[in-house]
Structure formats: C-alpha cells, structure tokens
Chain A
C-alpha cells in the first residue's frame, strides 16, 4: 500500500536574553549548578514574576520575520504538571493568546522548488531545570539554572510530507533565529530542540491518521533519522493491520531506536488557567515598530545579495546565506580573498568538511576568515596549486603557523610560474618520452588527444617536484606538441 506522510513540528527556541523571562537571574550557560537559580526561579513562597522586556522584543522580531500577526495583548497561562525540575508545579506559558499568530516560512527543496510551511502560532514560555539521573544515593539531582530561561515554542501546521522538507524547514528556522540574533543556535547545548509529529494516511486520503510525537531531537541528523525510523515503524504496524497508538516517543540517535514515553491515556491533564500573578502584556505600536526597525538582514535577502554582490550561483548563495555565522565568515574571507567564488568553494568544501568531521561550529574554527582569504588570494594569483593550498590549510588548522605566506615559504609550496623554467622542464620530459609524443601527434580525435595530454602531466609534476604551475604546464605542452 502507498502512504502519504504528514509531518508537523514544534520547536523550542531558547532566547539569547541576558536574564530569565520572569526574574533577574543570569542565563549564562555553564555556570555551577544552582548558582543562577534565585527565589523566583525556585518558586519560594511570596515571590512574584516580573517579565523581561527583551523576551517580548525577541518574540516580536521572530513574528515579523515569519510574516506573522503580532498579538498586541498577550496573556500567560499556567500549565500544571509535577516534575522536580519544575519547582512551581506549573510552567508559565501561553495558550489562548500567544504573542505570535499565524505566519509562514518558504523553504527551498533540493530539486530547486520552493514550498510554503505555515506556522500555526509561536508563544513565549519558560524552560524547566535539568534532572540528573546519575545515582545520588538512590536520589535524583536537580539543577535549576535553566529554570525560567525564556523560550519561544514555534508550532507549524502539518505541512511537511517527508524528512527532507522537515529538515529544510528546521535549518531555515535555525538560520532565521540566528540571523535575528535572538538565539545562539547552539543545538548541542539545547538552544534549539525539535519535537516531530508524524502520521500516515493512505495515499490521496483526506483523513489524517493517528499521530505520534517524537520529542527533544537536538540535531538535524537525528531529526532526519528519527523521521525515517518513525515512518517505517508506523508503516510496519499499519501494513500488519495494526493501529497506531497516540503517544509521545523518545528517539535514541546513537542506537537508532525509539521507545514510548507516555500514551494519550496516561497524558497529563494540564489544567490550564490564566496565571493570576501576571497581568496581560500589552505592546504598543511604537514597541512593534522599534522591533521592525531593528530587524537585521534575513537569510532570503542575504542570499539575493550574495548572488548579486559576489556573483555566486543560487545553490552556493543559499547554503552560505542560511547560517548567519557561516555567512559572516564567508564575507570576511571574500573581502580578504579577492576571488569570492573561490572563497565560497573553499568554505563549502574543505572548510565545512573539516568542521563537520570535528563537530565544531564556525565560531570554534581554528582558521579565521582573514587567513582563509589570504590563502584564496595565493591560489587565485597562482602562487600555489590547489594541492599546495590544501597543505597550507592543514597547517593553519593545526596551528603550525598563522601567516599564509610564511607557511608557503616554509613548506616550499610556491609554484614555479616562470615560463622559461617551465619550458625547459617540458622539453626535457618530452625528450624522454618520444613514443608518447609520436602517438599524440598521430591522434586525430581531439578528445583522445586531450586525454593523452594528461599522460605528460604526471612526469612533469614529478620533474618540478610538484611545484610547477599545472595551468602553465598545460599551455606550454599544447603549444609544443601541436607545433
């Protein structure tokens, strides 16, 4: 049987405010446990929350960036449930009047097509603390530093039909919030967490199937794997004549397995009600205009500019513009590297591969944009070959020197571009290969001739100890052989 896949996402975005949403405690990452958890965060009796203006500004900026209506008067609700990392016994969140109303994001698919994903709403809420389940004499440890960190939860419509679209949306959203500067986007530290709702229905059917929710995916790769895994699991059940149970599932990316966390029957009744500690928040037009005026360049606009200003193609510009930090790195490289297209190739090739292999973010790169730009300059002006450039890049990455020209000299990577010297080498090599020369000259087919030309390059590079400029070698060879 053929199935249609229906996917909706809920994304928790940690806002990059200095303080918590309802208290003046710092939100800095990595502090000693509970040193950033004050009386409000600990839910001590007699405390009152006071909302952080910046959290509202960031939420409004997000809403404007996803073409959404901004709710001028938003209200907070209490979502009641019991867990030790939630000391109040409820999460302060928004249900009836979320700050960001319906909007949309257009995503670019690999086949070049664009697709609109609708956003149902986005609301402000507080994060919970962390429970540490390592054994503390049979007890659980609780760190409440994260409790009260502002989040926006973005809820999409079920508009995605496969893992590729869901991941494209997730990456686009990541690009938007990091470009806005409202989230650091550091997924390994939980700054963005994805919940995926998936259901299957017979191909073409209008009736939605029962859905499951896979929670807390914190990388694009795990998200893609989790979707494939869950689609297959549901397909197996349905094709065996079974029924999908509406439930929340946890996915273990390292083992590619999932398990049920709770079913609908066990689901909490959250007893939502308006939070009596907080008055409605009313935002005036001046506040919203100020947020609109402070919107920075967003990925779509940046992509268009990269194509226009640097002459990049659609694909490269899209990749570089998607992530604010990668985009900034590219611009730094291009400004120091003279050749923007070559800069883009290096960043999307060697540089990104190296970052991925070491699971580093752009900001942790040991090579700066200025250094990479200097390297690109030396490739563009033929000082070094691309093979030599890889050696320089390696040295920069490993910290064996920081100045590109010094590394080139120290490693003797400078290409020989003196045509007189190169011609001498070509003459010597050709003299030693009379049979191949004769064969080449008797060949009529230009394609075959071109291929045979390559046969001389190996000995030439060897004769020049790898330092001959291959482009010049090629030109001289053709000139001499075709003469």
Chain B
C-alpha cells in the first residue's frame, strides 16, 4: 500500500501541521513502510480471536462524581483560531 504526496499534504492541512517538501518526501517513505506493516498485520487470520481491549492486564479506576474542573474558557479561547460570544467558531457546517 502506498501513500501519495497529495494525501500527506491533505492530512498535514487537516492536522494543522506545517511540512516542507523535503519532509513530505521523507514522510512518503516512512508512512508507506508503516502502511505496509499494517497490510502485513491485516493478512493474519484473526477469525477466532477476540479483540484485545487493552494490552495491560489491569482494570479501570473510576472517579467519584465530584466537580473538580474550574472554568478556564479564557485560556482555552486565547489559543483558538476564532471565537465569539464564548463560542468556538468553525467553518460553516450544514447538516
């Protein structure tokens, strides 16, 4: 399986990560190798294997139902690309 330069550039835009041409070439090779490995894994017969929920043999700790978080909206919105009236603004989505 291969990944194209175009795919990498698109993913980079979506992830808001800036990559230059040289990095794209390197990523093309590295990500291609990773995808090959995934293909190899996909070829294994897992028909009768139950999916593993977690590699650690441990159980989840639960938290008491108490409010521990305070309002930090100002800090979070200071690093958001666009906000108004307390809302995060995003490119328009229509259902």
Q: Could you mark each residue 103-141 of chain A with 1 if its beta carbon is under 8 Å from any beta carbon of chain B, else 0? A: 000000000000000000000000000011100111111
Asked if A274 contacts B65 (CB within 8 A), the reply is no
Which single member of A39, A50, A51, A140 contacts B91 (CB below 8 Å)? A140
Mostly, the B contact residues are loop
Which single member of B59, B64, B65, B84 contacts A280 (CB below 8 Å)? B59
The CA-CA distance from A139 to B90 in the complex, in Å, is 6
Residues of A within 8 Å of B63, CB to CB, are 24, 50-53
CB within 8 Å: A-B pair count: 125
Shortest CB–CB separation between residue A148 and chain B, in angstroms? 11
Asked if B62 contacts A52 (CB within 8 A), the reply is yes
Is A279's beta carbon under 8 Å from chain B?
yes
Give how many B residues have a beta carbon under 8 Å from the other chain's beta carbons: 35
Known contacts A34-B86, A142-B87: does B62 contact A281 (CB below 8 Å)? yes
Which single member of A32, A55, A279 contacts B54 (CB below 8 Å)? A279
Residues of A within 8 Å of B17, CB to CB, are none
Residues of A within 8 Å of B52, CB to CB, are 274
Known contacts A34-B73, A138-B92: does B86 contact A19 (CB below 8 Å)? no
Asked if A139 contacts B69 (CB within 8 A), the reply is no
Chain B minimum-CB-distance residue to A57: B65
Which single member of A17, A39, A142, A250 contacts B65 (CB below 8 Å)? A17
Residues 36 to 95 of chain B near chain A (Cβ within 8 Å): 51-54, 56, 58-69, 71-73, 76-77, 82, 84-95
Chain A minimum-CB-distance residue to B59: A282
Chain B minimum-CB-distance residue to A250: B95
Asked if B86 contacts A33 (CB within 8 A), the reply is yes
Asked if A34 contacts B90 (CB within 8 A), the reply is no
Which single member of A250, A276, A279 contacts B60 (CB below 8 Å)? A279
Known contacts A25-B67, A140-B92, A274-B54: does B62 contact A33 (CB below 8 Å)? no
Mostly, the A contact residues are loop
Asked if A34 contacts B65 (CB within 8 A), the reply is no
Which single member of A56, A96, A139, A276 contacts B89 (CB below 8 Å)? A139
Residues of B within 8 Å of A142, CB to CB, are 87-90
Chain B minimum-CB-distance residue to A150: B65
Asked if A279 contacts B56 (CB within 8 A), the reply is yes
Residues of B within 8 Å of A38, CB to CB, are 69, 72
Which single member of B60, B76, B92, B94 contacts A278 (CB below 8 Å)? B60
Which single member of B60, B64, B73, B84 contacts A37 (CB below 8 Å)? B73
Residues of A within 8 Å of B71, CB to CB, are 35-36
Known contacts A35-B71, A50-B61, A51-B60: does B85 contact A280 (CB below 8 Å)? no
17 pairs, A vs B, C-beta closer than 8 Å: A18-B67, A19-B68, A19-B69, A25-B67, A34-B87, A35-B71, A35-B86, A36-B69, A36-B71, A42-B76, A54-B64, A131-B93, A136-B84, A140-B89, A278-B60, A279-B54, A282-B59
- Shortest beta-carbon contacts, A-B, top 7: A24-B68, A141-B87, A54-B65, A53-B62, A33-B86, A279-B60, A38-B69
Residues on A lying within 8 angstroms of B by beta carbon are 17-19, 23-26, 32-39, 42, 44, 50-56, 75, 83-84, 96-97, 131-133, 136-144, 250, 261, 273-274, 276, 278-282
Besides A131-B93, A133-B95, 18 new A-B residue pairs in contact (Cβ under 8 A), listed by A number: A17-B65, A24-B66, A25-B67, A32-B73, A33-B86, A34-B73, A35-B71, A42-B76, A50-B61, A56-B62, A83-B93, A139-B82, A139-B90, A140-B92, A141-B89, A142-B90, A273-B51, A282-B60
